[in-house]
Structure 1
Amino acid sequence: MEQRGCDARRARRQWVGCVVAVLLWSVASAQLRYSISEEVNEGTVVGNIAKDLGLDKITLKDRKYRIVSSSTEPLFHVDQNDGVLYVKQKIDREEVCERISICLINLKTILEDPLEVHYVAVEVLDINDHSPSFPEKEKMLEIFESVLPGARIPLQAARDPDVGHFSVQQYKLSPNDHFRLEVKDKGEDGKIPILIVKKSLDREIAESHSLVLTAVDGGKPPKSGDMSILVNVLDVNDNAPVFSQDIYSVMLDENAPVGTTVLQVNATDLDDGPNGDVVYSFSNSVSHRLLSLFDINPSTGELIVKDSIDYEKKNKYEIEIQASDKGLAPLATQKSIIIKIVDVNDNAPEIEVTSFSSSIPEDSRPGTTVALISVNDLDSGLNGKVICSINDEVPFTLSPSSQDRMFLLVTKSPLDREKKSHYIITVHAKDTGQPPLSSEKTISVVVRDVNDNRPEFSLSPYTFYVTE
């Protein structure tokens, strides 16, 4: 009798514990930001997440504290014993964040039972580990002696994989009497050196001029790279091509088919013969990234789509083209083309179930969190606005989270395993583009049994006949 009483009290305590656990089930989120230099050794401490968030270190391992990452080779890992974030492998900033001024790696960490989500951003700081270099070590230019002071010759820019202050900051030209240097800032495409004639050339006095162009970055001490320039002075082609328009600007839909003509430019040259025949090309200032996306017909001046154009990567391009004649020492004129990319609805919403309970007790109260769902659409504007819903015939609902585009899947009514023990929940996400794109994800939830039914006799009363 005493043993049965102890068992009953123990069962009540376990039941109360389950109820309390359900009531305390919640999703929490926080944001931390650390910074480290690139190329630091494996095992370098990034920060103590548990300490900075005030988490209980003792429970980290039991609650399976971890980083949720879609990367096959994660760059960081967190120690479940103390909550310290470590570098898992050497990080090359130029490889992870090519040409991006601020390199942020966003991590999502979770704890289970109860579910907590914490966001950690790690900024990878650049170090000056590259020297500027030119695509060519030697460059030969041919310039007519009749060229007037002030003539401009764009040169190929030096490349430096580093960013910010550690990228190319200035150019220097070796001392000479006939040329000076001007630098044009092209924003994302860097600084472009332009050779300018400052004094008339005379082939009878000097047939050529040797120059050295030096690119210098902003490191301390600075790193540099050189390119030798040989200027050959030739005789007279005295008219450069002239474009028919002062400004070229055009709109282009993203995902335009390869081979689409963006626009056609036209330039004329007043000279006769080869000196007046015009060919079109890209200026030396055009980056390799643009050369992979666009092509130009040298005869007709048609600018053509060469590869897939993605609005989500870049919504505007400025391309500098040039028209050159066919003289022995060609004269060229540069002109910029502005291409504005028009967004189309080409990305369906992406649904991610970060963490969910595949089974919940049948006595869970309405509002119990079952899963954390994030929805993302790479498009912009109405094309990127997402409406999220689930099927109506289930006792669950979606509740917006404090984080943008995140939802909590919670119970909306009491559950009864004896009536239904398994639910298939379909999460549907649709954007508001025209036409709209949508996606679905299915979640399976099992209802666990609790002791909520008394035993019942099959007959009442029972009648027996016994021989005396």
Structure 2
Amino acid sequence: MDNCSLLHVLLMIFIMPGWLGGDPIISRKQQEIRSSKAFRGSHLRVRRGWIWSQIFVEEEDPTPRKIGQLKSDYDTGDFTIKYILSGEGAGDIFIIDEYTGDLHSLQSLDRELKPFYILQAQAINRRSRQPVEPESEFIIKVQDINDNAPEFINEPYISSIPEMCPTGTTVIQVTATDADDPLFGNNAKLIYSIVLGEPYFSVEPKTGIIVTSWSDMDREAREVYLVVVQVKDMLGLNGGYSATTTVTISLMDVNDNGPTFQHNLYTFAISESAPVGTTVGRIMADDSDVGLNAKMNYSLEDLEESSTFTIQTDPDTQEGIVILDQPLDFESKRRFVIAVEAINENIDTRFLSAYEFQDRTTLKITVTNVDEPPIFSETPYNWKVLESAQIGTQVGTIYARDTDTTNNPVRYSISKSSDTQQIFRIDPSNGTVYVANRLDRETAAWYNLTVNAREIRDDQLSSSVSLLISVLDVNDNVPTLSQDYQPYVCEDTQAGELIELISATDADDPVDGHHFYFSMIPDKHINPNFTIRDNQDNTASILARRSTFTQHDRTHYYLPVVIRDSGSPSLSSTTTLTIRVCVCQPTGHCPSAGVEAQALALDLHMQILLGLSVGLITLAVLSMLILAVRKYKTLRLEKMATQELETEEFSEKILSFTVPETQPSQTVSLRHPHRREHKLCREQVTTSIRMSLRHSHLIGPEDGVFQQFIMDRLAEADEDPCVPPFDCLHTYAFEGTGSVSGSLSSLGSLESETSDPCVSQTRDPGPQLLRLSPWLGATDDDTLF
């Protein structure tokens, strides 16, 4: 019920008493006005008010006509009261006679556009212009007529139901509406009926629900039904309106059909050379169902025959694909007869029995012959041979045969590319492989050969196979020390102290791994200096047997070491170790074994770093020496020039210096044999040079290597026959240990004009270590400057 209908009912309830002859409806304001008038004029209170009936206007009526009357109970018919109309449609749709209160409609109305109109009426005294009645509101209702046809909503109507569904299954509900007033008569009362679609479907007249009325609808016979439904108003009586709609109903598939083969026998042919996985052929079982209901699985029933083949279902076409699963041999089996079964994947026993969801057929497969190359009995061949095997030793035999019915003879050969050194050979007639050259496992531990087999007649078909020969180890290599050991013993070594830990290596490769035994050469006398202790882990410890080793007594000891392996037969070797006696530093390092030995012991990286350091220091000292020598020469030349003028001629040894950017070669007299009391003061020069060298060198005079170097040079100078009675200036250059390029000093011994070996000449002074003879007053502290 809409709002207009509800308002209409409420108005009927309130207006009905006056319409039926009861008291007219008087508003609260009207009662107050009348009460005030009664009190003013009289003590009697008269009930007065508007008098009118329920007003209805029939829609679609184009004729102007009177539709009702408004009247006040004060109206006595003398036309002293004037009626005024206002509100919806007043003046253009509705007018009122101001004298009589008659209401007239001027044009046709449409209830579907506006079902009622709300207006206001007034009654005033023409003379006093005062209201006789208070303004009152009333409603004019538009009365409905059947002027609208029903219409279906929510079109189009499409539905689907399973095939073979039972009678009375709900399909869909159709709905129609009518714009007419459903509360007035039968204008909007609808009824549904089937125009097209019987006897398969029916419709409920009042609700429009379509149901099935036939239970044997088969999708495979007919998939779509078009049902025409009609709706009428006026409950289907004559004179009413009607409308129709079409409902499309599709039948959904159910699994009510099983697979069926179209043929009882399917025949295929395949070559015996076809590889595994080759498709032999396709078979198809028809199923009238669709989708999941049409899915099926194929299987091969004869297990003995079908082991060579397998069958799969194509997911797109539902075909059965027969695939080769094992190699074929025409000479062994030429024909296969196999039973094939197709069965639905989804079985619905509501429609068919389980037996009806499957079908069978026969598959016949013929194998065709192909001329094949020889076939080897193994693939690949894996053999083993001892490395001590003599030439001509038989390693094994390779066998290949022609599987065709002709059975042609086969000849064998080894591919030259796989045996470039011709270590093995093969008998071409029987395939026996022999050793053809010496074997050495340490050179080659295995061989990968390719053996070819070729038919002698026909097309000379051939095939090849891999032959892997592993060379087994025999104990034919003696064990040796794992590295070139340079052991040394410190002078303060105590008895039982570890001198060196040695290990061994062996080119052989025994199955159980290496195990070496270390010992000394058997002798009737026990070595008093050292002993060897086998650690039972392939290492041995060289231990000192006594204490107090000194270089003064002996600088080297020789220790023979015997190493024996665990092979069969066992092999051994003897290696003599040279153990040096060393004056070790507190850390146990041996720096005083001599320059040559020290160079062999230093690490390559330390040599590089030391060489770079010495080079940088040399460049720094060089510049200082040049300045010092220049100053020294200037002072010495001035003093010696003065002495030459005062002394007589004498035989003297001359040291010539050549200094860049100075005067050419000048000679300086060091001293006169008869003037030994005159000493050359060189404190200033020696001090500056000595201090710069001491602070620049990484190895100072306190180091053992440096001290040994100075002592050796002093010994050479003391033993030099040229020293007494002459004074000589000796030059020394120390670049550290391990230099393989010799001295970096620019001072070299050149042939002098005299025959004196003590006279030297320089062209390019550089950083040097200078020693003056004690004849010139040099002190111990002057050995380095």
TM-score (norm 2): 0.24
Higher-helix-fraction structure: 2
Structure whose alpha-carbon radius of gyration is higher: 2
> TM-score, normalization: structure 1?
0.38
Highest relative contact order (Cα 8 Å, sep 6+), 1 or 2?
1
